[in-house]
């Protein structure tokens, strides 16, 4: 029996281009909650994004993990937060300015949402102006980070996907205190997290806090930053539009995000819970 469903949001629960989760998806979440089960988004986004992504339905995100698992909530309470040292982030910002491979982007996890809380970090004003022209997401920039540590960071990377992949791989070699993953199959972004911490780490924390077993969890994903919660979980699920790496790692497979397949799966999980069985899409 599945007692906890955890899902990525962009291109997994929520189709690209939609302003928020569909009414069908929100109803599926509430069907699970009505059976005494738990549901949670596990996203690279910051907590303040959740209200608009779930159209104001706070029950849908009271439990979950944000910033790629670095902020973990259970029933509305923050139970764990993992951060990256400012010293490492400043060193990365300097390297990006020298190589022009992208720009470090930070987010205030307590004020604003992903559209308003972002700012660039670079020691070079000319580099900032070039990046502002390429990536309009952050409208301001600072030269250095001065707090001891920060939670949400990513990199807007330049070039085509081959160059972006090369940049990710170079950073993995040169900045070993941090991990780097693509949050999307197409967006020119690389997400940053503390080395060894991932969405999969957050799943383990949620399992422990909720007092369930790992076999009672279902995880849904589509992109590289979902891999740790797909390959490490027995009942992992890939949507049909997932990248090949995710499809190969997942035990179970469902339809596409565009068809609200995760919402259908949530209804299936809720229905199966009535008889204490596994959902139909997890039966061979």
Taking 70 as the pLDDT cut, the residues of the chain under it are 112-114
The predicted pLDDT at position 35 comes to: 98
For residue 253, the model assigns a pLDDT of 98
Model pLDDT for residues 4-46, shown as the tens digit of each residue: 999 999 999 999 889 999 999 999 999 999 999 999 999 999 9
Give domain 4-81+198-282's CATH superfamily: HAD superfamily/HAD-like (3.40.50.1000)
* 84-194 topology per CATH: 3.30.1240
Same fold yes or no, 4-81+198-282 and 84-194 = no
**pLDDT computed for residue 284 by the predictor:** 73
Domain boundaries, the chain: 4-81+198-282, 84-194
Q: SS3 sequence, the chain?
A: CCCEEEECCECCCECCCCCCCCHHHHHHHHHHHHCCCEEEEECCCCHHHHHHHCCCCHHHCCCEEECCCCEEEECCEEEEECCEEHHHHHHHHHHHHHHCCEEEEEECCCCCCCCCCEEEECCCHHHHHHHHHHCCCCCCEECCCCCCEECEEEEEECCCHHHHHHHHHHHHHHCCCEEEECCCCCCCEEEEEECCCCHHHHHHHHHHHHCCCHHHEEEEECCHHHHHHHHCCCEEEECCCCCHHHHHHCCEECCCHHHCHHHHHHHHHHHHHCCCCCCHHHCC
pTM of the model: 0.94
pLDDT recorded at residue 103 = 97
Would you state the pLDDT for residue 34? 98
Q: According to the model, what pLDDT value does residue 112 have?
A: 67
């Amino acid at each position: 029996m599945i007692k906890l469903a955890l899902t990525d949001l962009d291109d997994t629960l929520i189709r690209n281009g939609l302003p928020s989760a569909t009414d069908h998806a929100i109803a599926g979440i509430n069907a699970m909650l009505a059976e005494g089960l738990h549901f949670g988004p596990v996203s690279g986004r910051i907590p303040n994004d959740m209200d608009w992504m779930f159209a104001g339905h706070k029950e849908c995100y009271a439990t979950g993990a944000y910033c790629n698992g670095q902020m973990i909530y259970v029933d509305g309470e923050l139970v764990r937060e993992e951060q990256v040292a400012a010293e490492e982030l400043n060193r990365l910002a300097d390297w990006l300015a020298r190589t022009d491979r992208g720009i470090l982007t930070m987010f205030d996890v307590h004020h604003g949402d992903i559209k308003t809380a972002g700012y660039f970090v670079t020691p070079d004003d000319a580099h900032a102006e070039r990046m502002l022209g390429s990536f309009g997401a952050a409208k301001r920039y600072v030269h250095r980070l001065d707090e001891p540590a920060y939670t949400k960071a990513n990199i807007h990377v330049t070039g085509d996907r081959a160059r972006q992949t090369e940049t990710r791989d170079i950073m993995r070699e040169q900045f070993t205190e941090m991990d780097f993953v693509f949050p999307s199959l197409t967006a020119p972004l690389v997400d940053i997290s503390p080395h060894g911490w991932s969405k999969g780490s957050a799943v383990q924390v949620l399992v422990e806090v909720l007092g369930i077993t790992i076999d009672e969890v279902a995880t849904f994903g589509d992109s590289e930053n979902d891999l740790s919660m797909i390959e490490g979980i027995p009942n992992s699920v890939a949507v049909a539009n997932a990248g090949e790496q995710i499809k190969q790692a997942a035990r179970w497979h469902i339809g596409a995000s565009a068809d609200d397949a995760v919402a259908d799966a949530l209804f299936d999980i809720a229905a199966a819970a009535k008889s204490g069985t596994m959902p139909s899409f997890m039966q061979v």
